């Protein structure tokens, strides 16, 4: 499978940005004789997020030069299509990922981080069960059945006007108990709440909450 920036080039046919430095690209790890100076935007401490390497290759340089375009959207990339999308489309995209093609998936909660520089950590081969995506600067791996189950639970609890914050922190209050109790009865309510408790700090649970309305 090709690196993220080369796959993007195939899909969108952008013009690579050629420099004259030889070295290893700090984003994709490829050797190049047309590298560019390793320089990112202001206020970005790249050391925490990028691999070793001394230049930026012509393909990855396109990303850095068009940073605003790539950090202000979510996207799904396959070898023949680059699909930017917004929050409202996330469920549709994530539950209908391509099964017969390699793909890269980028999600964001901030719409400003340079998370795209981590895309090479999130290559998905066609038909994989373990899906890896980047969410801002986080790498998250999940299976669809697991995400689906957590999403359904989240949706169910959201119907009882339980806030996303309560779901994330499992900080239920008396009035939440009461509302669920009326609908589900005591035993079922305890089960639901125990489940949410066990999902605390689980990145797939946090993702399920994020994609839920």
What residue ranges bind Zn ion (CB under 5 A)? 25, 27-28, 57, 60
CB nearer Zn ion, residue 64 or residue 147:
64
CB nearer Zn ion, residue 37 or residue 200:
37
DSSP β-ladder status, 104-107 and 131-135: parallel
CA distance 8 to 91: 23
CB-based contact 49:24 (threshold 8 Å): no
DSSP designation for 41: -
- Work out how close the CB of 146 gets to Zn ion at its nearest, in angstroms, rounded to a whole number: 32
Q: Where are the beta strands (DSSP E) in the chain?
A: 21-24, 31-37, 55-56, 74-78, 81-85, 104-107, 131-135, 138-142
- Work out how close the CB of 6 gets to Zn ion at its nearest, in angstroms, rounded to a whole number: 8
CB nearer Zn ion, residue 66 or residue 198:
66
- Work out how close the CB of 20 gets to Zn ion at its nearest, in angstroms, rounded to a whole number: 16
- Work out how close the CB of 45 gets to Zn ion at its nearest, in angstroms, rounded to a whole number: 19
CB nearer Zn ion, residue 27 or residue 105:
27
CA distance 35 to 58: 6
């Amino acid at each position: 499978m090709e690196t993220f920036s080369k796959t993007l080039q195939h899909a969108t046919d952008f013009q690579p940005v050629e420099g004259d430095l030889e070295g290893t690209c700090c984003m994709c790890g490829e050797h190049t004789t047309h590298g560019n100076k390793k320089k990112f935007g202001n206020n970005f401490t790249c050391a925490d997020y990028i691999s070793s390497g001394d230049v930026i290759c012509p393909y990855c340089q396109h990303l850095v030069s068009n940073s605003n375009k790539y950090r202000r959207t979510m996207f799904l990339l396959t070898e023949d299509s680059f699909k930017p999308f917004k929050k409202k489309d996330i469920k549709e995209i994530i539950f209908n990922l391509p099964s017969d093609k390699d793909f890269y998936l980028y999600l964001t909660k901030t719409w400003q981080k340079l998370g795209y520089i981590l895309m090479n950590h999130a290559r998905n081969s066609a038909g994989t069960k373990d899906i890896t995506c980047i969410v801002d600067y986080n790498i998250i791996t999940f299976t669809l059945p697991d995400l689906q189950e957590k999403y359904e639970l989240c949706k169910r609890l959201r119907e009882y006007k339980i806030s996303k914050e309560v779901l994330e922190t499992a900080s239920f209050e008396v009035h939440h108990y009461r509302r669920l109790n009326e609908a589900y009865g005591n035993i079922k309510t305890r089960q639901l709440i125990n489940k949410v408790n066990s999902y605390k700090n689980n990145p797939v649970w946090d993702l399920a909450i994020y994609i839920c309305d």
